[in-house]
A and B are shown apart, each in its own frame.
Chain A
Amino acid sequence: MVKWTDKERSTVRTVWESIDIDELGPEVLRRVLIVYPWTERYFGAFGDIFTTTAILQNPKVAAHGIVVLRALDQAVKNMDNIKDTYAALSRLHFEKLEVDPDNFRLLADCITISVACKLRAEMNPQVQATWQKFLQAVVDAMCAQYY
């Protein structure tokens, strides 16, 4: 289980509270698809996601970005139990969606960068360290049910 100081807990909550999921969600997933185009393999049902323009305009990408960030909310609310919180999601991503778990790391990096664009100087080195520690715990939990 990951240990959190009071400062770290409040940092994660503060960062999360300054994010609008409806705004950031689409941005994050667009970034993942544009910066790491091989991730397109998981979104065959989304229609045209093969050019930057198409990705930026695709409504299914935007909607799914929101779904993904809503799931991150669960981790913020259950910081002492992230592994159990994500057990079912991890199993789903392995057994049904067959997602290479390295993609969770790529998504985490894109989340950090999108949040950095929003928070700017507020994301000082300490805040960045705590936020990345948090996302690492989420990534580890998402990998935990792979076998």
Chain B
Amino acid sequence: MTSLTAKDKEVVKAFWAKVGGSAAELGSDALARLLVVYPQTKTYFSHWKDLSPGSAPVKKHGATIMNGVSDAVGKIDDLTGGLLSLSELHAFTLRVDPANFKIFAHNILVVLAINFPDDFTPSVHVAMDKFLAALARALAEKYR
């Protein structure tokens, strides 16, 4: 797929400046949805007692993930380099099937649409979709 244009990066950064403050809540909601809407993803979290939306581990881990996304916005000019250690973590320790990055990205977009319906215009939607795809690619870099 295509790489991010200067315009894409501008749109992503401007939008994130607006919404990034809510990263923790957005992340918790996105993770909660992932587990409910795509139950196969629960297989990665058998070590949690409670996988329901609003549970402590879901809230905490959702925030962790989304803070990672925030961090990636700051590294938007070199996602591959910037996310190297995270990629190694996902490849060698977590071993998450990278197909799940796409599914998680969809839930991030849904959560953005729900919370920022007026700002999440088609133009912002396409830039964010491209950014999350680029993020996923960088995260999958060390897999094989």
Chain A residues with a Cβ under 8 A of chain B: 30-31, 34-35, 52, 55-56, 109, 112-114, 116-121, 123-126, 128-129, 132
| Known contacts A52-B122, A125-B53, A128-B110; is-contact A118 B117 (Cβ 8 Å) | yes
What distance in Å separates the Cβ of B112 from its nearest Cβ neighbour in chain A?
Answer: 9
Q: How far is the CA of A123 from the CA of B110 in the complex (A)?
A: 9
Residue of B nearest to A36 (CB): B126
Q: Are B36 and A113 in contact (CB under 8 A)?
A: no
Residue of A nearest to B107 (CB): A128
What distance in Å separates the Cβ of B77 from its nearest Cβ neighbour in chain A?
Answer: 23
CB 8 Å contact bits of B105-120 with A (1 = contact, 0 = none): 0100110011101001
Interface size class of B (residues with CB under 8 A): 10 to 19
Q: Is B9 an interface residue (CB 8 A)?
A: no
- Which B residues are CB-close (under 8 A) to A52? 122-123
Query: Which one of B33, B115, B122, B123 contacts A128 once the chains associate, using CB atoms below 8 Å?
Result: B33
Q: How far is the CA of A96 from the CA of B131 in the complex (A)?
A: 35
Q: How far is the CA of A30 from the CA of B123 in the complex (A)?
A: 10
28 of the cross-chain contacts (CB-CB < 8 Å) are: A31-B122, A31-B125, A34-B122, A34-B123, A34-B125, A35-B122, A35-B125, A35-B129, A52-B122, A56-B122, A113-B109, A113-B113, A116-B110, A116-B113, A116-B117, A117-B113, A118-B117, A120-B115, A123-B110, A123-B114, A124-B53, A125-B33, A125-B36, A125-B37, A125-B53, A128-B33, A129-B36, A129-B37
Q: Is B72 an interface residue (CB 8 A)?
A: no
